[in-house]
Amino acid sequence: MEKLMENEVFMAFATYAAIVIIKLLLMGPLTGYYRVTRGAFSNEEDVGRKSEEEKKKLLKIHPDVERVRRCHQNDLENIIPFVVIGLLYALTGPELSTALLHFRLFAGSRIFHTVAYIGALPQPSRGLSWILGMLVTFSMAYRVLSTALFL
């Protein structure tokens, strides 16, 4: 493990993986914030001991809350594969500059994707950031398969 921690590519991967995972983890509290500020809850226990009339007002779907939830779901669908493929990619021994380009592009694309999604920026901003992240992940997967292909 010590030897791995001396590997610059692995350390770069660990840094950017931690950044996107923290970003992913922050989506939960952001959803909670939107639920509280928009007064839109999905479970009866979330609204406490309110009257039935107040509960009906608070147990609703709000477009802003749903937007944050969809962004969180998209993060789950993209960040988890990046972390798995990125780890395997880092172990193939790529050049540091190439690895940094992959990791930085992915992290930047996910951060911009969130800004575009939450801020409802016009398309194709969100779509292009998603495509960039996917291309980075596929590029790393190609390197893993072409380096370690075992048939």
pLDDT > 80? residue 12: yes
Confidence of residue 7 (pLDDT cuts 50, 70, 90): very high
| Cβ atoms within 10 Å, residue 137 | 22
Q: Is 92 helix (H, G, I), strand (E, B) or coil?
A: coil
Angle, nearest 10°, between helix axes 96-118 and 8-38? 10
**Predicted pLDDT of residue 151:** 55
Question: Domain coordinates of the chain in residue numbers?
Answer: 2-25+61-148
**Predicted pLDDT of residue 57:** 81
Report the share of the chain in percent with pLDDT over 90.
81
Expressed in angstroms, the distance from the first to the final Cα of the chain is: 28
Angle, nearest 10°, between helix axes 96-118 and 63-90? 170
pTM, to two decimals = 0.91
What would you measure as the largest C-alpha separation in the chain, in angstroms?
A: 65
CA dist., res. 100 & res. 84, Å (int): 16
CB 51 within 8 A of CB 138: no
CB 62 within 8 A of CB 34: yes
For the chain, the average pLDDT equals: 93
Query: For 54-68, how does the pLDDT look when each residue is reduced to its tens digit (9 = 90+)?
Result: 877 888 899 999 999
Query: What residue has token string 């996107």?
Result: 20
CA dist., res. 30 & res. 65, Å (int): 9
Classify domain 2-25+61-148 at the CATH class level: mainly alpha
